[in-house]
Structure 1
Amino acid sequence: MNKEYAVGLDIGGTHITAAIIDIIGMKVVDFSLHKESFDSNLPVEEVMTIWEKVIRTSIKKSKVENTTGLAICMPGPFDYTNGVCWIKGQSKYEHFYGLNVRDLFQDKLNLSSDFPVLFENDAVCFGKGEVFKDANNLSKKVMAITLGTGLGACFIDKGKSISTGNSVPKEGEIYDLPYKHGIAEDYVSARGLISSYFALSGKKLNNGLEIFNLAKAGDEMAIKVFGKMGEDLAAIVLPWLENFSADSFIIGGKIANASEFFLPVFIQKIKEAGSNVTVSVSTDNEIAALLGATSLLYTV
């Protein structure tokens, strides 16, 4: 069978990861994974130079001579079809608002106008990647979420992302669902953890990692905060697990690394509600995102 390769990119607010993906086998080419941290609020040309360097480094390390597409996992708001960035007021990509990122890639990498440059939401890429990693999931209904700075979600039926219809929330998103005194993301995210810890302790921490480290050290308030997040997460997703008739629920994102502190409560709550969905935590978010992005090239 002939090999076909593409460049997969996972782009966040502070990092970019590139890898060369064997599209037929849906596997990362050995030694091709390359990651760099950067400040996304740098001028556009400086950011593009960093991205170009990472891509070219990945290609060089892979020893692959020809690639047939570029697939990019990107945070929103973003026009994924047309490649236009609409991120604003999020302390990231301040200079990219309204720009066509597809054009920027084509110019920077000297790509022809017909070379596929495709974009997808980061949570959808994660979910699709998890599905493609396990062939059994290709016959199932999967709800996947990413827990981190925000709360991402996707709904996948037999490998296809579902974002419309009565079985899923609007645009397949759960972050903005009304919940308690605000929206879901106010309670289930890094800022939700920080806010909860402040309410209990009066101490203002900087990020979720600090709370995780406190929980690891036995801090009862930190442990309680994660447990409360597990309860909130269950309350938020249960109606949609049922509505979508999900077979599997997969948790990813940086906060998934703290699953020992919130997962037991989450599982208890969904079992009490009568749900039989299979719950799992991703062990390699980044690879999943890259595979999920590259799966877009099957339709090209």
Structure 2
Amino acid sequence: MRPGDRTVVSVLEVGGTHATAASVDIETRGLRLGRSFREEVDGDGSAEEILSALLRCAAHLPAPGVSRWAVALPGPFDYERGIGRYEGVGKFDALRGFDLRAALTASLPGAITVSFWNDADAFVLGEWWAGAARGHRSVAGITLGTGVGSCFLRDGRILRHGPGVPPEGRLHALRYADKPLEETVSRRALRRAYARAAGTSPPDVREIARRARHGDRAAASVFAETFSALGRVLGPLLAAFEPTVLVVGGAIAGAWDLVAEPLRTGLTEADPARNRRIAITPAHQPDQAPLLGAAHLATACDEPRRRSASR
């Protein structure tokens, strides 16, 4: 971008239970987020119901004078083609094989181009740009919600391989106790573990956290066991990657008082000397970071095309 250039990206950030829309004004000196709007999304709904929720959310934005939309959402998803690959992950099963790019391009106001980005990548980039990871060269980030998202950054670049980086940078691809990690660390896993421990039907994670704070030993134990397990999986990776900060986001990070200590304990089991040096922090911009990061990714992707077109 030349000095004085600016552009606006309309962004949708999609989670398993909600969607958020905002306009991001990108200038030479940074990103500026406008007002954001939120709508509930039923991750177990039909493709039409999910699409309708996204369009209702997008409709809150002022009529755009721009044609670029960026959508941040969790995997498994074919981000290049805009097609869902969800199956048996506790959300968005109806989007498996669904061409979300075609549906959104046809329906979003002013949409000419719609790009898709992994929500954890967008979150960590947003925290690096304007949040808890600002000023750090080497950053690891995770999101805790319907699943486990992850991103590894060095100098603002997303890494997909290298020392301490899991396959494709995706922590959820790893296993714990001979099972996929998300069978131990996820919203559904926490609820299932509490139901088993307490002998009751599973409340949502927010209620389990409330009970833990009020002396429910089963609830406290579930949080402690879940996040010490996550730390044991993540610890060897961070010892090899050597980030200076680990940023934690996602809905479950709202129970930071129950997450931080067991996570730190699990991390230090792997390599006490190295991992104790890592700053572990909740997100400073938990709601805004994915929106900023998605806009940053969308414009960074367009930059080579602009340079080519100007030659």
Scaled by the length of structure 2, what TM-score is found? 0.85
Q: Which residue of 1 aligns with 2:159?
A: 162
Q: 1: CA distance between counterparts of 2:45 and 2:193?
A: 32
| Corresponding letter in the other structure for 1:207 | D
Query: Among residues 29, 33, 37, which one is paired with 2:36 in the alignment?
Result: 33
Distance 1:34 1:244, change over 3 A: same
Distance 1:116 1:284, change over 3 A: same
Q: How does 1:251-270 map to 2 (within 5 A)?
A: 251-270=248-267
CA contact (8 A) 1:138 1:158 kept: no
Pair 1:150-2:152 in alignment: no
Distance 1:215 1:135, change over 3 A: closer
Shift in Å, 1:197: 2.4
Q: How does 1:85-234 map to 2 (within 5 A)?
A: 85-90=84-89, 92-109=91-108, 111=110, 115-134=112-131, 137=134, 139-234=136-231
Q: 1: CA distance between counterparts of 2:288 and 2:228?
A: 28
| Corresponding letter in the other structure for 1:105 | L
Percent of residue pairs identical = 29
Q: Which residue of 1 aligns with 2:301?
A: 299
Shift in Å, 1:267: 2.4
Moved more, 92-101 or 276-285: 92-101
Q: Give the number of equivalent residue pairs.
A: 292
Q: 1: CA distance between counterparts of 2:249 and 2:49?
A: 30
Scaled by the length of structure 1, what TM-score is found? 0.88
Q: 2: CA distance between counterparts of 1:135 and 1:282?
A: 6
CA contact (8 A) 2:235 2:266 kept: no
Moved more, 258-267 or 269-278: 269-278
Tell me, which stretches of 5 or more residues in structure 1 are unaligned?
none
Residues 113-165 of structure 1 deviation map (CA, whole Å, 9 limit, x = unaligned): xx331111111111111111149636511111111121111111111111133
Alpha-carbon RMSD: 2.3
Q: 1: CA distance between counterparts of 2:56 and 2:116?
A: 19
SS at match of 1:285: coil
Where does structure 1 differ by over 6 angstroms across 4 or more consecutive aligned residues? none
Q: Which residue of 1 aligns with 2:306?
A: none
| Corresponding letter in the other structure for 2:84 | C
Shift in Å, 1:91: 5.1
Distance 1:19 1:228, change over 3 A: same
Tell me, which stretches of 5 or more residues in structure 2 are unaligned?
303-311
Q: 1: CA distance between counterparts of 2:290 and 2:73?
A: 10
Shift in Å, 1:271: 4.3
Residues 170-202 of structure 1 deviation map (CA, whole Å, 9 limit, x = unaligned): 111112312114232222222332233234332
Q: Which residue of 2 aligns with 1:52?
A: 55
CA contact (8 A) 2:13 2:71 kept: yes
